């Protein structure tokens, strides 16, 4: 793919590799929780004006047609558009470098604190809260979804097998999913 011309509203000079590195590093360190395409649009189309909307839309379309992580594909396409192959490499490295260092730091801190009883007590409390929230969500779904007795029985068998007997979840789900789907299909046919 040949390097395309910068947009009319962009600066007349392409950004330096260092500027690309800093922009993507900042983005990688601050864009938590997905939605990378939106962050990229905001940063490079609206804020920096390094590319225009039609070019970004074309990159988005190409990225959606290719397999893999959408944010990284779009990062490579933007970097390539701005400075060719070196721009693509710098953009991808910068986007992934910040989170990589953060994860290593958090892992190192966690490894140092694994013997700390207070940390284990906190994590046990968090785990109990998560179990309670999951249970409450399941109960709310059962009450508001008004499932039939078959659905409640399948849910109970799932909880028994995975939660009480500690059987592996994947085989349990693979065995019970067809039963659940068949039950729902039969119930829908009766209506």
3-state secondary structure 26-47: HHHHHCCCCCHHHHHHHHHHHH
8 lies in a domain?
A: no
Instruction: Kindly state whether residues 78 and 108 are assigned to the same domain.
Output: yes
4 lies in a domain?
A: no
Q: pLDDT of 116-172, one tens digit each?
A: 888 888 888 998 888 888 778 777 766 666 567 887 888 889 889 988 899 998 999
Mean pLDDT of the chain: 85
The answer to whether 93 and 22 have CB atoms below 8 angstroms apart is no
Instruction: Kindly state whether residues 53 and 109 are assigned to the same domain.
Output: yes
Instruction: Kindly state whether residues 21 and 109 are assigned to the same domain.
Output: yes
Instruction: Kindly state whether residues 53 and 41 are assigned to the same domain.
Output: yes
Q: 58-83: buried (b, 16+ CB within 10 Å) or exposed (e) per residue?
A: ebbeebeeeeeebbebbbbbbbbbbb
140 lies in a domain?
A: yes
Instruction: Kindly state whether residues 60 and 85 are assigned to the same domain.
Output: yes
C-alpha distances out from residue 20 to 12, 28, 138, 153, 175, Å: 16, 12, 46, 56, 50
10 lies in a domain?
A: no
Which pLDDT does position 6 carry in this prediction?
46
Instruction: Kindly state whether residues 46 and 106 are assigned to the same domain.
Output: yes
What whole-number distance in Å separates Cα of residue 28 and Cα of residue 9? 25
Average pLDDT over residues 45-63: 92
Which comes out higher in pLDDT, residue 84 or 11?
84
6 lies in a domain?
A: no
What whole-number distance in Å separates Cα of residue 66 and Cα of residue 187? 40
Instruction: Kindly state whether residues 81 and 93 are assigned to the same domain.
Output: yes
Beta-carbon contacts of residue 157 (< 8 Å; ≥ 6 apart): 176
Range of the domain at 87: 17-113
Domain count for the chain: 3
Q: Which two tokens stand for residue 2?
A: 């040949």
Instruction: Kindly state whether residues 159 and 135 are assigned to the same domain.
Output: no
Instruction: Kindly state whether residues 152 and 190 are assigned to the same domain.
Output: yes
Instruction: Kindly state whether residues 135 and 187 are assigned to the same domain.
Output: no
Instruction: Kindly state whether residues 123 and 55 are assigned to the same domain.
Output: no
Instruction: Kindly state whether residues 81 and 39 are assigned to the same domain.
Output: yes
Output the pTM of the full model: 0.58
What whole-number distance in Å separates Cα of residue 40 and Cα of residue 92? 12
What whole-number distance in Å separates Cα of residue 96 and Cα of residue 57? 23
């Amino acid at each position: 793919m040949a390097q395309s011309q910068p947009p009319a509203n962009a600066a007349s000079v392409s950004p330096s590799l260092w500027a690309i590195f800093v922009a993507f590093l900042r983005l990688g360190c601050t864009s938590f929780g997905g939605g990378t395409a939106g962050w990229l649009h905001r940063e490079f189309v609206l804020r920096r004006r390094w590319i225009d909307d039609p070019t970004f839309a074309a990159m988005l379309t190409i990225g959606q047609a290719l397999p893999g992580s959408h944010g990284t594909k779009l990062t490579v396409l933007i970097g390539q558009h701005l400075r060719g192959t070196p721009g693509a490499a710098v953009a991808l490295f910068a986007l992934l470098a910040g989170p990589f260092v953060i994860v290593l730091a958090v892992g190192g801190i966690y490894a140092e604190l694994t013997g700390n009883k207070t940390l284990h007590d906190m994590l046990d409390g968090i785990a109990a809260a998560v179990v309670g929230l999951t249970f409450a969500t399941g109960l709310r779904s059962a009450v508001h979804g008004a499932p039939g007795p078959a659905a409640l029985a399948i849910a109970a068998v799932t909880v028994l097998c995975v939660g009480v007997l500690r059987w592996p979840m994947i085989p349990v789900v693979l065995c019970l999913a067809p039963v659940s789907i068949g039950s729902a299909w039969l119930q829908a046919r009766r209506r």
